[in-house]
Amino acid sequence: MSRFRTGSLVFAVLCTSCLAEARATGVLHTRGSEIVDAGGQIRTLRGFNLGGWFVMEPFMSPMDRTHRLQDSMSVMRTLESRFGRETARRLVALYQKSWIDDGDIARIAKAGFNAVRIPVWWGQFLNIDDPTASGWRGDAFADLDRIVAACRKHGIVAIIDMHGVVGGQSDNPDTGQAGENRFWTDPEAQSATAWLWGRIAAHYRDDPTVAGYDLINEPAPPKGMAAKEAVWSAYDRLYRTVRAEDPQHMIFLEDSFGSWSLNMLPPPSRFGWTNVVYESHIYPWARNHPGVPQAQAAERSAERAVDDAARHRDWNVPIYIGEFSALDTAPGTWKTMIERFDAARLNWTIWSYKAMDRDGTPNFWGYVEPTVALPRPDPSTDDAETIRRDWSAWRTDGAFAANPALR
């Protein structure tokens, strides 16, 4: 454990406040602008996204060494067409068990963090050729329950994040299926997504290990559509669907569309939303800060988020930085960003806990990254045993260590 904690100095020194907080008891809920446990103790959330786990992304996941397959859907379709559904699902489940296991959750908890955000998508709950109630998978909750149980064991909480709704909420491959963005104009996709959220909420409604539900990750209605109206309507429908099954858990609502600021969200009183957390994402891309060094862009982005939260304090909701990165900067930049979030009493989860570069080498995306060259399969041509063997090699223990880019 120590090699992960001391190898990345910035995270080792920044989570003393995480360690000082008592572990949650009962279902977390909001109290004004704070998140509290059943005993009324403030529970500021700090941790990581479990990126690349259920939702494969080509820039950070060992999904396909040829880079032909660009999303989870293409991997699953390829495997099913070659080996049949049962073998395909076993292979994907093996990938998932290798990428994140109990040891990873233990490592996060021992380093002083108290939360993980878990990106999920509809294809892990429904047959990829039948995204309706009739396509419900018998193993829909198997791996998600496994990691929620690990979180319970190690005293941290999980935010379930819908990274990919039925039909897709953007063109991005991080929805599970690139090039879709059909959700906004497809009533059947909207209904299927609402039904799916109802199943998830019913499954976890009495589980205090689950902090809450992030309804739609980074919604991006097509150009020409009134984005605020479309997103607010979708949020309200999904909010009410979840509340019908689970009146207890927090609901997370993202501003990550349009201007990527809290101005994209309505005051919660407009729709009667309660026990909600408002969420922002921060990626200080150089293209958005022309002529500014990367470190300065990251620090400016953090300051902008803090100022944005301050301007909306009268909404009386907790603010959560659900995803952020200092990108390719020194540890001091990460430290500055996190210190500013903490001083402003913002909740946060870094993107991401675990990652690799396209060529299998470390980059700045993961808290832990590979230390040795690891095999990656070609799902389009390799036999099932080769795919199984290659994906089995991606367990964190023995092959990953603290990201040297963050030392």
Could you give the CA distance from residue 365 to residue 403 in angstroms, rounded to a whole number? 9
- Strand stretches in 228-285, DSSP E: 250-254, 276-282
157-189 pLDDT tens trace: 999 999 999 999 999 999 999 999 999 999 999
Give Dmax (Cα) for the chain: 58
Please list the residues that pair with 347 across neighbouring strands.
320
CA atoms within 13 A on the CB side of 60: 24
Report the mean per-residue pLDDT for the chain: 92
Residue among 335, 341, 401 nearest 367 (CA): 401
More confident site: 287 or 193: 193
pLDDT at 20 exceeding the cut of 90: no
pLDDT at position 6, please? Answer: 32
Q: How many domains does the chain have?
A: 1
Domain that holds residue 360: 2-406
Q: For the residues 62-91, what does the mean pLDDT come to?
A: 97
What are the Cα distances from residue 392, in Å, to 288, 379, 387? 39, 14, 8
Output the six-digit token pair for 77: 């379709």
Could you give the CA distance from residue 46 to residue 321 in angstroms, rounded to a whole number? 9
Determine how β-strand 319-324 pairs with β-strand 347-350: parallel
CB distance 109 to 209 below 8 Å? no
Alpha-carbon Rg of the chain, whole angstroms? 20
pLDDT band at residue 314 using 50, 70 and 90 as cut-offs: very high
pLDDT band at residue 97 using 50, 70 and 90 as cut-offs: very high
Could you give the CA distance from residue 276 to residue 29 in angstroms, rounded to a whole number? 8
What CATH code is carried by the domain that includes residue 230? 3.20.20.80
Output the six-digit token pair for 159: 């935010």
Tell me the one-letter amino acid at 335.
K
Q: Which one-letter DSSP state was computed for residue 336?
A: H
Does residue 275 come out as left (phi exceeding 0), alpha (psi in the -120 to 50 range) or beta? left
pTM for the whole structure: 0.94
**Where is 72: in which H helix or E strand?**
helix 72-83
